[in-house]
Structure 1
Amino acid sequence: MFKPFNLFNIPRHIKKIALRSKINKNTNGVEKGHIILQLINVLIVLALIAAIVYLNYVYKNRVLLISSISALGIIILLIIGGIYRRNKLNNYNTVSKLILKDDDDRILDEWDISNNVSCLIGKKTKSNEVNINLSKAVYASLVSREHAVINKANNKWYFEDIGSSNGSGIKRKGESNKFKVEEGKPYEISSGDILYIANTKLYVK
């Protein structure tokens, strides 16, 4: 994969600043897209209502009024159906949580990511904010402050190591062995997988 940053040998922390900016941009873009789509739907319904009122005022024809109201009802049902199908598609990927457990399989922390587009995994400090804070992990000392990211694209989740000191890995659902991931390469993940952040296990649900 072509990585233009490597041509200029930019330090890792500069790469991570750029990555954080990209995550925020993607998240804001998705939210704005949903708002715009909702506004368009509202404007369509308002325009149709205005047209019905106008036609009724001009022609005062009961048959025309009933036909117009029926057509409006059908259009509203189509809009609602489209919203339902879109939400169903968005929820098709069942990944909704990341869970941190200790060696005795007790839950130390968990994060609901169902409404997120991107999450930064690492350790929270005074100067470093992350979405998935692994400071409570048994092997937290091996976790980089900004270790990895998970991104949602086309209703699928992807995991990517962003230049951590001790690396990352994935164990697929139903498999006994984990594999090490390459830095900067996204890997699709699904419910039942286990993410290895150095020696720390994150369960994907």
Structure 2
Amino acid sequence: MKQIPLITFFVASIFLFSCQSTPKNNTTVEKKDSLTTTTAAKDSSEVNNYNENTVELVKLRLTTMLRDDLSKNIVSEASRKFILFEYDLNEDGKKEIFVGLTGPYFCGSGGCTFLLLDHEGQQITKFTVTDYPVLVAGTNTKGWKDLILSSGGKNHLMKFNGSTYPSNPTVQPVFEGIPGNDLLKFPGTVNGDFPWVNF
């Protein structure tokens, strides 16, 4: 009679151990699915949605644009990297490409340079003296989303003029108020979901 409870305890222990092992594996699957879901959500909201073709397009654009300085080794390794953000600013179904730059070649005490390219890699605007993040405003001008750029500790409203945005935010109107947390930011944080890519 004493052996039955011992056998029952042994069988129950095996069952309990196998139940505990299963959630660990399921947790891994759930985390994996959760990451996939998060990525899908970002894709559907057009946040940080870019692919290797875009990366290669930007690399080509930068190496072409900087050909002379790269050949003279003027662009240091610290400056030879960028981050990307794609978003359809004019709702034509083609995403524009924000290219964030860094390092002493592109940045100074006033901020950094970043580029806005069209979907084919052609330059729309080269912004200067800009601090991160860049915000996409909820308003439009001439069919393009307004941008809010920070420079000199102030936010400036940048409006499309029909062919480009102004390049220097410091000479544009100060954005009154505090930008809402619901606005798209590029990048959300400097070390966030935007990996730096070397070129």
Q: TM-score higher than 0.5 here?
A: no
Kindly indicate which of the two structures has a greater share of residues assigned to helix: 1
TM superposition score normalised by structure 1: 0.33
TM superposition score normalised by structure 2: 0.34
